[in-house]
Structure 1
Amino acid sequence: MTFTLTILGSNSAAPAYNRHPTSQLLHIQQEYFLIDCGEATQMQLNRYKIRFTKINHIFISHLHGDHYLGLVGLLSTMHLNKRTDDLFLYGPGGLVDILSLQFKYSDTRLNYRIRFRELSQQRELIYQNDNTTVETIPLNHRIQCTGFLFREKPKKRRINKDVLPDNLSLQQIIALKKGEDLYNRQGERLFKNEDLTLPPKKSRSYAYCSDTKYQECLIPQLQDVDLLYHESTFLEKEAERAAETFHSTAAQAASIAHQAGVQKLLLGHFSSRYKDLSPFLEEARQHFQESYLAIEGEEFTIDE
């Protein structure tokens, strides 16, 4: 089953050097989650041949323009394309005011309903379906800012077809997947579950840490995630500037990844002062070897 992240934008503040403001698309099984929506997000979706109709959930981390200024255009295009399905939008409370004002003065009445979930500055579960949960990650930025942790729920055990007896009923197969032993009507055990099944496949996870100062209090929540995106606006020689602007350096992002024991780190939200991104990778890998750059158009897949 699919668990793939596509980078749509990886720059901070303003577009530069063919890098666009922040946006990502996470595809988990049958769901497509858009994470932040900087300027030109819909153009990037078109560029990478991602259909807008697949997106039903949009998460906005905070109200600095490089994380949401593409949203009105995307919502308007969905309207022009005759979308009728509900759209689920998660973000700070002020986002509703911004959208309402835009649509008021353009006299736009969307064909579809936006179901808005206002985010607090507390850790909370904001979405779940049969397979996946999404909880917030409180971040430390100049204004309210929220990260997001996506996790697959524990999966069922797998049937071992090589040893499965003939003529088992559908109810018995379902019981095996739930991890149950099989019994006859007299209550006698016929088969131990572990003799007929294989362990469940891995439940995967992705943590998105948007704009934030270096803060070690994130580590418990990020512990052992498969893929961590942590902003790295500056290099370490600009650490003072990073602290002043409530941002992080590549070395600080790598330190968080190392301490949390994550499997892989993605660096992004690069300042426009840097044309060459290779120093970010070099700096991060001094602290955490499994560090990578969030290059636009690249996909990062987590296997089961």
Structure 2
Amino acid sequence: MNQTQPEEELSLEGQGELASLIERHTRTDGKHLSAIPSLHLFRASCEQEPQFAIYEPALCMIAQGSKLVMLAKESYRYDPRSYLLASVHLPIKGQILEATALRPYLGLQLNFQPDQIVDMLQMPRSGGEAGNHSSRGLAVGSVSSSLLDAVIRLIRLLDNPEDIEGLAPLMIREILYRVMQGEQGASIKSFVISGSHAQRIAAVIDRINRDYRQRLQVHDLAKMVNMSVSSLHYYFKEVTAMSPLQYLKQVRLQEARRLLLSETAEAAEAAFQVGYESPSQFSREYARLFGQPPIRDVNQLRHRLSRS
């Protein structure tokens, strides 16, 4: 006779399957693109030093191990029983905390577009009411059995690539629906409600990420979204934990680091490419964020990568 398994047992069983699926599709350490364009898989066989990145709007989940993500001075830790939700582009510092060769860190990132959330706003039970307030653009929530099940079914498609085009969009829609049903539902909705404070800050964030090379002025950004400068500062910090200029600086510096590492640009050239007019100011601010001057930092990164 079939008996219903307890929720706890079902969750453990599902987490084990999710780990097996990710491990099968990540034979080496690092970030792995998948046949589902918005789905990335991750594997790490040892704990890592903090890594800088700019998160896109995404749902991040862990099948094995744990991770610490830092946004400005705030810390967010998550593990197989929790997910990390980024509702806007955010410059972060992440560190894998639990990983060994025998039990590697295994995780996934599912990117999404605001239009996918807008598309579901009229659906019943699509999360709590989103008022005219600003939520933090990064949040941790509890993984439900229904969300876990939907994610597992999405990753199973990697074993049946012929089904991806037809079924992956439906499963991604279900995953986002499950997130909107959960404790972060009102938060994620607030970023797409036209005219809300969060939606206007999201528009400013998009502008900064698109035009960071240009000379952006805070009063112009405020005017763009019909806010006063003081309101923009207040709500921008509510969403990102930093001011607009601090955010712009992090975006520029992370892009400069990428240029230095991948394109062998000179420090002064990278500075100009990302919008700095003064190489000396660039070097000072780069060292303040990454711990050492540009060339020394990049040489150390290359050495570290050559050993991995």
Higher helix content, 1 or 2: 2
TM-score between both structures, scaled by the size of structure 1: 0.28
TM-score between both structures, scaled by the size of structure 2: 0.28
> Over alpha carbons, which structure has the higher Rg?
1
Higher strand content, 1 or 2: 1
